Structure 1
Amino acid sequence: MNRIFHYQITENEQGTTVLDFLRKKGFSRHILSSMKADKEALTRNGQRIGGREQLLAGDHFRVRLLETVDSDGIVPVSMPLSILYEDEDILVINKPADMPVHPSIGNYTNTLANGVAAYLDAKDEHSPFRCINRLDRDTSGALILAKNAFSAAVLSTQMRNRQIRRTYLAVVEGITPPNGTISAPISRVDDSVIERHVDFLRGEPAVTHYERLEVKNEHSLLEIHLETGRTHQIRVHMGYIGHPLPADYLYHPVYDCFKRQPLHSLQLEFRHPVTDKPMCLLAPVSEDMCNAF
């Protein structure tokens, strides 16, 4: 989806070059390079301007960002979407359980990417699928999508810098301590494409904080915060301390109480990639987890 940004240059920004201004705003090197082909990408007070020219206080600086990435052949498939927030830069969705995020072998038309493609096509807002925080197929909850390359770049930087605060709810087996921090590196299991485990020799750093909210039927309801975002981090860490998630097909396939792993992305806190305003979005908890407690 094409996007136009408008900036009014302030006294403090007087004398800043165009390129330095854009870099400070969060435009990545890749985006700046892609903009070179568009002769109308940068204008000041209605006139074209080059990247090395200086901006003056009071200037109206306009940036046009054309979409240059295709949709990777994702097939649009109409399906219900639970939208928590949307504007021209981001789309935040409450993803249901049992829905893959991306197409893969055996999952070509039943993914969130298919549904989002159909939703945007219906609004004539064609955009590649840019997912910022990824959720496993059986994990429900809040997920951020960037609707243009700039918002994707800014939010990806926030994610790398641990500036997106993610709050999860999880049901685990057994009675955990009231709270705790798990600091244990995670790596891929040898000869497996998807399975992970704690590995102090080869693993990447992974830190999980948890607080017990309630106990019922020998299960604990936890509020969890991640410092890092390793694949299957919560599932691996909770199993590592002896409190696995039930109904986890990969790590603990016990289906006495749940049909899927009870893990929900409850809340996302971040700064809007364009306005810089603080955002706090809450995803209603799925019925199976509500019924358990």
Structure 2
Amino acid sequence: MTSISDAGQVRPTGDRRSLPVPDGLDGMRLDQAVSRLFGLSRTVAATLVEAGDALVDGAPRPKSDRVAAGSWLEVLLPAPPVAPTVIPETVPGLRVVHSDDDIVVVDKPVGVAAHPSPGWSGPTVIGGLAALGHTIATSGAAERQGIVHRLDVGTTGVMVVAKSEQAYTLLKRAFKAREVEKRYHAVVQGHLDPLRGTVDAPIDRHPTHDYRWAVVAGGKPSITHYDTLEAFPAASLLDVRLETGRTHQIRVHLSTLRHPCVGDLTYGADPTLSARLKLNRQWLHARELAFVHPRTAEQVRFVSDYPDDLELALRILRD
């Protein structure tokens, strides 16, 4: 299905849906109601309303208008996104730590995503491995084949990708069963009290910011263990062990403790300290990864050294 925009251009659209507003949404803002009814983000729902693609009783309304139970709601849903494809591309700084018939372990540089995704046009681990001639397992969605865990674009460190179908199945199972040891090092603002502890707080999408995550009642169980390795006047170096693997988990939990990762402006870091340490991303590094090899059944462990920008920040803190 297509429609004509105000500029006269043809744009693809999805399905048109019509239904009465249920009693449970009576009095809710229009953009919130559209978001709840159709499983859209608040941003996408607000965009639809502002574009005139959500009508109440046949007429467009401001997104802040309150809907009444029984009113007739007509929504033109956006077209489903086109799945991104993997493009082989040389990724500067991407280093292969280990490779065999079943797995490839990489040291991921900053500014690289694990796999292609809507809205991301930068380099990816999967694209970099394809450029290096590595054949990845075909399990999983086309753009995420072989991916058994991920690191944020702004997080560096060690990461494993499955090359065989057996490895994909067993590693996915091991990550889900919390049988993989994942250790990170993080430099955070201030000094934690106690110096060693555990954060057990559920995480889900932030209620108002689509690009952020937050501790939310009813979110997915999330457990982070931390231990202070070194203290500086304005910051602390932590060893962090993840028991679960939620998106942005370390960043969210440490920010919740009011000790965000230095440089993590998204989660409340002090920009002045970030500038002094010459950081333009969070000081967070996937230091160690240990798991049972999917074919040999032996325990394997891989360690990643700090990249130059994080090492420089540490030197400044120690001076």
TM-score for the superposition, normalised by structure 2: 0.65
Tell me if 1:186 matches 2:199: no
Give me the whole-angstrom Cα distance separating, in 1, the residues matched to 2:117 and 2:204.
Answer: 22
SS at match of 2:301: strand
Give the Å deviation of 1:108. Answer: 3.1
**What's the CA shift string for 1:235-256, capped at 9, x where partnerless?**
0000111101122242125232
**Residues 201 and 223 of structure 2 are in contact (CA less than 8 Å); yes or no, is this contact kept in structure 1?**
yes
Residue 156 of structure 2 corresponds to 140
Residue 95 of structure 1 corresponds to 108
After superposition, where does 1:170-249 map in structure 2 within 5 Å?
170-177=186-193, 178-199=195-216, 201-249=217-265
Residue 75 of structure 2 corresponds to none
Which residues of structure 2 form unaligned runs of 5+? 1-82, 139-144, 315-319
Residue 171 of structure 2 corresponds to 155
SS at match of 2:192: coil
Give the number of the structure whose alpha-carbon radius of gyration is greater: 2
Give me the whole-angstrom Cα distance separating, in 1, the residues matched to 2:308 and 2:173.
Answer: 33
Q: Which amino acid aligns with 1:74?
A: V
Tell me if 1:280 matches 2:292: no
Give the Å deviation of 1:270. Answer: 0.3
Higher mean displacement: 170-179 or 106-115: 106-115
Residue 30 of structure 1 corresponds to none
**Residues 137 and 168 of structure 2 are in contact (CA less than 8 Å); yes or no, is this contact kept in structure 1?**
no
Q: Compared with structure 1, are the counterparts of its residues 126 and 230 closer, same or farther at alpha carbon in structure 2 (3 Å cutoff)?
A: closer
**Residues 170 and 294 of structure 2 are in contact (CA less than 8 Å); yes or no, is this contact kept in structure 1?**
yes
**Residues 290 and 299 of structure 2 are in contact (CA less than 8 Å); yes or no, is this contact kept in structure 1?**
yes
Residue 292 of structure 1 corresponds to 313
Tell me if 1:267 matches 2:288: yes
**Residues 246 and 252 of structure 1 are in contact (CA less than 8 Å); yes or no, is this contact kept in structure 2?**
no
**Residues 88 and 129 of structure 2 are in contact (CA less than 8 Å); yes or no, is this contact kept in structure 1?**
yes
RMSD: 1.9
Tell me if 1:82 matches 2:95: yes
Q: Which amino acid aligns with 1:150?
A: Q
Residue 126 of structure 2 corresponds to 113
Equivalent residue in structure 2 for 1:251, among 267, 290, 294? 267
**Residues 85 and 116 of structure 2 are in contact (CA less than 8 Å); yes or no, is this contact kept in structure 1?**
no
**Residues 77 and 109 of structure 1 are in contact (CA less than 8 Å); yes or no, is this contact kept in structure 2?**
no
**Residues 132 and 143 of structure 1 are in contact (CA less than 8 Å); yes or no, is this contact kept in structure 2?**
no
SS at match of 1:154: helix
Give me the whole-angstrom Cα distance separating, in 1, the residues matched to 2:147 and 2:131.
Answer: 16
Residue 9 of structure 2 corresponds to none
Q: Compared with structure 1, are the counterparts of its residues 196 and 109 closer, same or farther at alpha carbon in structure 2 (3 Å cutoff)?
A: closer
Give the Å deviation of 1:222. Answer: 0.2
SS at match of 1:130: coil
Give me the whole-angstrom Cα distance separating, in 2, the residues matched to 1:244 and 1:218.
Answer: 12
* Matched pairs, number: 219
Q: Compared with structure 1, are the counterparts of its residues 86 and 205 closer, same or farther at alpha carbon in structure 2 (3 Å cutoff)?
A: same
Residue 55 of structure 1 corresponds to none
SS at match of 1:193: coil
Give me the whole-angstrom Cα distance separating, in 2, the residues matched to 1:224 and 1:93.
Answer: 20
Residue 38 of structure 2 corresponds to none
SS at match of 1:152: helix
Give the Å deviation of 1:191. Answer: 4.5
SS at match of 2:247: coil
Give the Å deviation of 1:189. Answer: 1.4
Give the Å deviation of 1:101. Answer: 1.7
Give the Å deviation of 1:99. Answer: 1.4
Give me the whole-angstrom Cα distance separating, in 2, the residues matched to 1:75 and 1:157.
Answer: 28
**Residues 172 and 244 of structure 1 are in contact (CA less than 8 Å); yes or no, is this contact kept in structure 2?**
yes
Which residues of structure 1 form unaligned runs of 5+? 1-70
Give me the whole-angstrom Cα distance separating, in 2, the residues matched to 1:107 and 1:187.
Answer: 21
**Residues 169 and 222 of structure 1 are in contact (CA less than 8 Å); yes or no, is this contact kept in structure 2?**
yes
TM-score for the superposition, normalised by structure 1: 0.70
Give the Å deviation of 1:106. Answer: 4.7
Give me the whole-angstrom Cα distance separating, in 1, the residues matched to 2:236 and 2:254.
Answer: 11
**What's the CA shift string for 1:152-208, capped at 9, x where partnerless?**
000000001111000100010001132111111111112443311111x22111111
